Copies of this chain bind each other. A is one copy, B any other.
């Protein structure tokens, strides 16, 4: 367990925060525990306090006090991250953004919206329902927009609409020293200076606290159709996807569920799909364009040996299909109720995807583990849903080996250690394996913007920092109360 903030600093910091915010600074054990873990299997690291700010100004107040006491700050959205992003590894205060949940602007003609970070993606789409607009990024969970921004989320629609990287236009950020910046104006593009927006998208709370987000939205398509097609050969399924994308068919979703996942889904959702590797697709556009896309894809599917091609334009059937896709994790869990889910993802160039999945499947069998696979296959991104009995140390060890080999396999194939889950602290070592010396550049950026390492410390990059054991801050470098301890 890493070192936490010293008891004296903690008491002083909380006392000063209480002098401003009173009982809104919550320190009960149960509350802190509730904010100490995300949806992953990573342990629970409770913060020392939890606070739900209501405005950028309140965040500034907190950050200024925390900077004074060197008390860590961990922003919290909906808690749906998967690599321990919100664990308070070193204690500190959790900023629960739930009360900053307003849609501030809908700029219809500009196809953008301005939201607070606590707005969830479903809430946003509910809000937009009658405007003819929608926000496409869909990571499955009803994540907060702040969290999705911080983790560079993507999901099923990314193949057509891009990820958070492409869809965030501007951010308001409270920096580690309490300054408030806006990273960009509201124009669709800009060549004015360093791309601060993209620097904060995916920064996992380690460079500042995001308090406002300007997002691209899209017109709701006139027509939406879905299709399902099974393949006995995984390589053929992926080749069909490659051809689809090369032909420029603007498919909105193209998901792969492997044979094991289809078994689980049939059982859980009471469906009777062939238990083969299966593509789930969605097409958006005008009536004729959608029919055109479906027909072209059907030809491609036939060419690559796809089985019975089923498609539907009816909303109800479509929803049933995608609900099943979104229930994949539950379906997997139902295969082995006493196991915990260890969800992980990698992303490779699509030309290597079939090979990467097949090698991983062989390794799953060899490791005597259960791990269905689902993939955002248009992006070369896939998830392993490892089912692990955490009470069995030997099985955990086998799972760790499988996981490590999968990530290293992806890196060898010019892929990344995570396509959309992020680094958190679960994948710190893999970041180094992936980026090598570039991690030292990341470390320089972190040090430049957060020299005291107060912003979600221990995530993305490891730093050395001064941990204080006393409140005598006036003469820090000489103080006997200062000591240098490794961060993580």
Contact = CB atoms under 8 A, between A and B. Distances in A.
Interface residues of A, number: 98
Interface in A421-443: 421-423, 427, 430-431, 434-442
Given A199-B198, A284-B248, A445-B448, A349 B187 contact: yes
Interface string A319-357: 000000000000000000000000000011111000000
Contacts of A162: 166
Contacts of A427: 192
Given A198-B199, A286-B292, A418 B165 contact: no
A251 B163 CA distance: 21
Most buried by B among A190, A192, A415: A192
A45 to B, nearest CB: 21
Contact of A191 (B199, B351, B410, B419): B419
Contacts of A242: 109
A189 interface: yes
A184 interface: yes
A434 B185 CA distance: 8
Contacts of A381: 187-189
Interface in A155-176: 158, 162-163, 165-166, 175
Interface of A: 107-112, 132, 151-154, 158, 162-163, 165-166, 175, 179-196, 198-199, 201-203, 207, 218-219, 221-222, 242, 245-248, 250, 284-286, 288-289, 292, 296, 347-351, 379-381, 410-411, 414-423, 427, 430-431, 434-442, 444-449, 460-461
Which 3 A-B pairs give the minimum distances between C-beta atoms?
Answer: A198-B198, A448-B448, A190-B416
13 contacts: A132-B246, A189-B416, A190-B419, A193-B442, A193-B460, A194-B442, A194-B460, A195-B201, A199-B199, A219-B245, A222-B247, A289-B292, A445-B445
